Amino acid sequence: MVRQADLVIIGVSVGLTLGILISCLIFFGIRWYKKRAHIRRSANESSLTTLPIRTNGLGTSSDFSASLDSSIASSWSENLKRNSHFSWWNHQNKDRFASASGILKYLYKEIQKATQNFTTTLGQGSFGTVYKATMPTGEVVAVKVLAPNSKQGEKEFQTEVFLLGRLHHRNLVNLVGYCVDKGQRILVYQYMSNGSLANLLYGEEKELSWDQRLQIALDISHGIEYLHEGAVPPVIHRDLKSANILLDHSMRAKVADFGLSKEEIFDDRNSGLKGTYGYMDPAYISTSKLTTKSDIYSFGIIVFELITAIHPHQNLMEYVNLAAMDHDGVDEILDKQLVGKCNLEEVRQLAKIGHKCLHKSPRKRPSIGEVSQFISRIKQRRQRHLTEDNLSFASNNFSRAVSRLEDRQVELSRMPTINLTETV
Integer Cα distance of 306 and 357 in angstroms:
14
* One-character DSSP codes across 375-403: HHHHHHHHHHHHHHHHHHHHHHHHHHHHH
Sequence-distant (6+) residues with CB within 8 A of 80 are 86, 88, 155, 158, 159, 162
Buried b (16+ CB within 10 A) or exposed e, 89-110: beeeeeeebbebbebebbeeeb
Is 155 part of any known ligand binding site? no
Pair 235, 73: CB distance under 8 Å: no
Identified catalytic residue from 63, 95, 181, 239: 239
Quick check: 336 and 310 in contact, CB under 8 A? no
The 10 Å Cβ neighbour count of residue 33 is 10
Q: Sign of the CA dihedral 229, 230, 232, 234?
A: negative
Residue 239 annotated in active site? yes
* Helix (H), strand (E) at residue 347: helix 344-357
Residues acting as catalytic residues:
239
Return binding residues for ATP: 144
Return binding residues: 144
